Structure 1
Amino acid sequence: MVLELHSVIDSPAMMSMRTFEALGCQAFFQTHWSPTIENTFKNYVHLVWSRHPEETLELVHFYLSREDLRQKIARHGQEEVYRNHTYHHRIQSIRPFLEKL
């Protein structure tokens, strides 16, 4: 279980590389909500986010007792990262711009 806290949560583009690294390692990833997290991943499918400290604690306690759900979400998170968020995907997204140089 990886618990992630970001110092910036209102940026439309900010997301830590740890998000992708943890999910890619098939870790159960719990973080706080941000616009980028919500636009990139599905809550309770690829990872789990919370919006308030109290909710974070409730979710930690819940998922610590539910290994089956942690493993399922972690597996889906890894599949999502491998399917859509590798370095290969990022290179392909900027390749057209690089070819124009």
Structure 2
Amino acid sequence: MTDETTAVADEAVLDVILDVVGGMVREILGEYDIDDVEITMDTTFHEDLELESIDLVVLAGRLQEHYGEPVNLAEFLADKELEEVIALTVGELVRFVASRT
């Protein structure tokens, strides 16, 4: 594979994971009657989506159910400072999932 082909393949993988993660987040938001939210790689969990820590716990469980043990959100977040967790973007999570699958 050329570098360009690899980049396109990597981008396609990220798009698929973004769709899966976005769907999971929409399900969580739906429990709060929040619909029609745009979720991009730059969307933040705290400021844009207003998710609480309990919501991230729910998301962690869904990610692990879907992708298995290697995708451990708690482990991923444990290495971050509080400010980094608050500023976490969907893209950072998507790239983490891609690195573990």
Question: TM-score w.r.t. structure 1 length?
Answer: 0.29
Question: TM-score w.r.t. structure 2 length?
Answer: 0.29
- With CA pairs under 8 Å and 6+ residues apart, which has the higher RCO, 1 or 2? 2
Q: Which has the larger radius of gyration?
A: 1
- Say which structure is richer in helix: 2
